[in-house]
Amino acid sequence: MTVHNNEISEKFSRFADLIEIQGGNPFRARAYREASRVIGDTSEQVDQMVKEGRNLTELKGIGGDLAGKIKEIVETGHLQLLDEMENEIPASLLELMNIPDLGPKRIAMMHRELGIDSMEDLKKALEDGKISSLKGFGKKTEQKIFTSISRPKKETGKRFLYVDAAPSALACKQYLEKRADTNKVDIAGSFRRGKETVGDLDILVTCRNGSEKDIMDAFVSFDEVVHVYEKGDTKSSVLLRNELQVDIRIVSDDSYGAAMHYFTGSKAHNIAVRKLAVRKKYKINEYGVFEGSRQIAGKTEKEVYEAVGLSYIEPELRENLGEIEASREKRLPRLIEEKDIRGDLHMHTTRTDGRNTLHEMAVAAKELGYEYIAVTEHSQKVAMAGGLNEKDLREYLTYIDAANDEIDGITILKGIEVDILQDGTLDLPDSVLRELDIVIGSVHYHQRFPARQQTDRIIRAMDNPYLQILGHPTGRLLNKRDAMEIDLEKIIRAAKEKNVVIELNSQPDRLDLPHNYCKFAADLGVKIVISTDAHSKEGFRFMKNGIREARRGWLEKEDVVNTRSLGSMRELVKR
Ligand code: DGT
Ligand code: CA
Ligand code: CA
Ligand code: ZN
């Protein structure tokens, strides 16, 4: 397990904050803050130092006690004292840390002098003008705090990874579902379309008996809600603790399908559907499909589609990328499902940067019902992750043989994720690649070449007859790093010609191959492998993300090699 310096640094800085909020020893807080800075700045990889047993007090400002704490973080991923303190201090008080003009010292003072424990308390104290009476605050600061907490945060434009929004979506849904006065509760919007990132959640609810107002009252007082932008009887908009915005609407049962359709979007899809309705002289909106003033559809989505001459379209396809035409012409794809998957061909174990052993991974995959996996460690170039050279790899292959003998009911294939070097050659000699079952080639370094050079580099790598799968083809990291500048269509056409399979990497911040290129590839007849790139057995669960992206990319079971039995999958990835 790699623990980055900034993770250690952040833990120490957080710890210093909490000491200050609790009004603890200021020297202790300062020592942690200083340590946080030192570790953030050092060019040494601190976790490496720990692993090599080096003396951490070599680092300026790090004494024996801090060295012990660093060791604890590197070895366990946690700082127990910090975890304890996080639990001790009320969450509502910690939340005040998100307000721009409030640092831990100020929060401590407000808490001590005015008993402020939450956003509510703070608002009240501001209204009563009590904040400016505190030492070191003043009228100006009071005003600044007031504006920053009254300003809605929704303009920040921050998008959440699907997986980061999912727990909130589930929590809101369950909270509403368990009420006796709600009937249907569903999440619409980009979340339902399975988009890689979501801007906000859109929840639709129908009322069973009782009043809409009660449901709204209950929702805005949900524990996770920290700010209410707007509250009405049938529509409200709130901000959750994690800064995710939620729009909620209560609709009638008769309009439920129309509302689900409208609020699922996408906007482009809605506009295209509306055009069809207009052609038939119908009106369509979130309440239903109307002929004059008579509602002719709206209870279910299927009804809505049928009213305009279409068959039901799966949410993942609703981007106006051809699904309307395909629906009309009855040639919608039969989208792949998670249960179609029979194995996983990209994963790492403790031999490089994974957290579970080969044995643990194989057993976990078998429990998922998989028929085969391929272990694909990094190659030597990826030194940070402990990548394997030829000798290491050969040794590891015998280890895989032994594991295969030991574990029944699943086949462990010998693989590698070999680095594509800057000139397009591969990081390991053909003599060893030849002995493997699965060779993934991936770019990890030099991602900023100009488009021509980068495209040529990747196509050159695919010229190597042992490369079977092109790994995470664009290199994008959602919200973090843009895709490489490449001519991806050219690369996919080259894959077609050379019979290379393209990976759809299921890591929630990768989802790489992006959906529109999945469709492009499948239309050309290029095969896709949906892989998790799991770094632990828990990582297998990311398959869901890949499936979602594949569905957005119109993929069917037949387009994806790891829906096949072992024999026919191997036939497909063979060059
Ligand atoms: P997001 O939240 O940015 O990830 O994306 P969406 O698609 O969830 O967008 P959002 O939350 O603004 O609106 C939810 C759905 O409501 C959207 O997908 C389609 C529908 N919608 C919103 N505004 C309009 C509009 O002006 N016209 C039409 N036809 N539909 C709209
Ligand atoms: Ca939305
Ligand atoms: Ca919305
Ligand atoms: Zn990789």
Domains and CATH numbers, the chain: 5-150 (1.10.150.110), 160-250 (3.30.460.10), 255-328 (3.30.210.10), 338-573 (3.20.20.140)
Mean pLDDT confidence for 114-127: 91
pLDDT at site 250: 96
- Report the nearest atom of ligand 1 relative to the CA of 197: 4
Burial class (CB in 10 A: 0-12, 13-18, 19+), 139: exposed
Minimum CA distance residue for ligand 1 atom 8: 189
Residue 229 has pLDDT above 70, yes or no: yes
pLDDT at site 154: 53
The residue among 248, 358, 336, 308 whose CA lies nearest residue 529 is 336
Model confidence over 267-280: pLDDT tens digits? 999 999 999 999 99
What rounded mean pLDDT belongs to the chain? 94
Distance (Å) from CA 189 to ligand 3 centroid: 7
The best mutation among 270, 284, 319 to test binding of ligand 1, ranked by most ligand atoms within 8 Å of the C-beta, falls on 270
pLDDT at site 156: 57
Distance (Å) from CA 483 to ligand 3 centroid: 27
- Of the listed ligands, the closest to the CA of 315 is 1
Q: Where does the pLDDT of residue 152 fall: very low under 50, low under 70, confident under 90, or very high at 90 and above?
A: low
Residue 153 has pLDDT above 60, yes or no: no
Q: What is the pTM of this model?
A: 0.76
C-alpha dist (Å) from residue 370 to 345, 404, 540, 573: 11, 14, 11, 18
Distance (Å) from CA 318 to ligand 2 centroid: 14
Mean pLDDT confidence for 356-385: 96
Beta strand 160-161 with 197-198: parallel, antiparallel or unpaired? antiparallel
Q: Where does the pLDDT of residue 85 fall: very low under 50, low under 70, confident under 90, or very high at 90 and above?
A: very high
Model confidence over 36-82: pLDDT tens digits? 999 988 888 899 999 999 999 988 889 999 999 999 999 998 999 99
Lowest average pLDDT, out of 224-238, 339-353, 531-545, goes to 224-238
Q: Where does the pLDDT of residue 322 fall: very low under 50, low under 70, confident under 90, or very high at 90 and above?
A: very high
Q: Is the CB of 194 under 6 A from ligand 1?
A: no
- Report the nearest atom of ligand 1 relative to the CA of 270: 29
Distance (Å) from CA 504 to ligand 1 centroid: 27
The answer to whether the Cα torsion of 344, 349, 351, 352 is positive or negative is positive
- Of the listed ligands, the closest to the CA of 512 is 4
Q: Per the structure block, which two tokens stand in for 445?
A: 């370094």
Model confidence over 347-368: pLDDT tens digits? 999 999 999 999 999 999 999 9
- Report the nearest atom of ligand 1 relative to the CA of 262: 20
pLDDT at site 1: 66
Residue 565 has pLDDT above 60, yes or no: yes
Mean pLDDT confidence for 301-326: 98
As a whole number of angstroms, the distance between CA 496 and CA 89 comes to 58
Rounded to 10 deg, the angle between the 104-114 and 119-127 helix axes is: 70
pLDDT at site 283: 95
Residue 155 has pLDDT above 80, yes or no: no
Q: What 3-state DSSP class applies to 253?
A: helix
pLDDT at site 103: 87
Side chain identity, residue 258: A
Angle at the Cα of 429 (from 425 to 432), degrees rounded to 5?
140
Residue 392 has pLDDT above 60, yes or no: yes
Q: Is the CB of 189 under 6 A from ligand 1?
A: yes
pLDDT at site 137: 87
Model confidence over 167-208: pLDDT tens digits? 999 999 999 999 999 999 999 999 999 999 999 999 999 999
Minimum CA distance residue for ligand 1 atom 28: 267
Minimum CA distance residue for ligand 1 atom 9: 189
Q: Alpha helices of 42-132 — where are they, by DSSP H?
A: 46-51, 64-76, 80-88, 91-94, 104-114, 119-127
pLDDT at site 6: 82
As a whole number of angstroms, the distance between CA 538 and CA 418 comes to 23
Minimum CA distance residue for ligand 1 atom 10: 189
Q: Per the structure block, which two tokens stand in for 328?
A: 């009309």
Minimum CA distance residue for ligand 1 atom 1: 199
Q: Alpha helices of 178-265 — where are they, by DSSP H?
A: 189-192, 212-220, 256-264
Q: Per the structure block, which two tokens stand in for 15?
A: 């710890």
Mean pLDDT confidence for 487-503: 98
Residue 534 has pLDDT above 70, yes or no: yes
The best mutation among 168, 190, 193, 236 to test binding of ligand 1, ranked by most ligand atoms within 8 Å of the C-beta, falls on 190
Distance (Å) from CA 247 to ligand 2 centroid: 8
Distance (Å) from CA 439 to ligand 1 centroid: 42
Q: Is the CB of 270 under 6 A from ligand 1?
A: yes
Most confident segment among 94-108, 138-152, 497-511: 497-511
Minimum CA distance residue for ligand 1 atom 22: 267
- Of the listed ligands, the closest to the CA of 230 is 3
pLDDT at site 138: 85
Q: Is the CB of 258 under 6 A from ligand 1?
A: no
Minimum CA distance residue for ligand 1 atom 23: 267
Residue 558 has pLDDT above 80, yes or no: yes
Distance (Å) from CA 471 to ligand 4 centroid: 7
Q: Is the CB of 190 under 6 A from ligand 1?
A: yes
The H or E element containing residue 32 is: helix 26-41
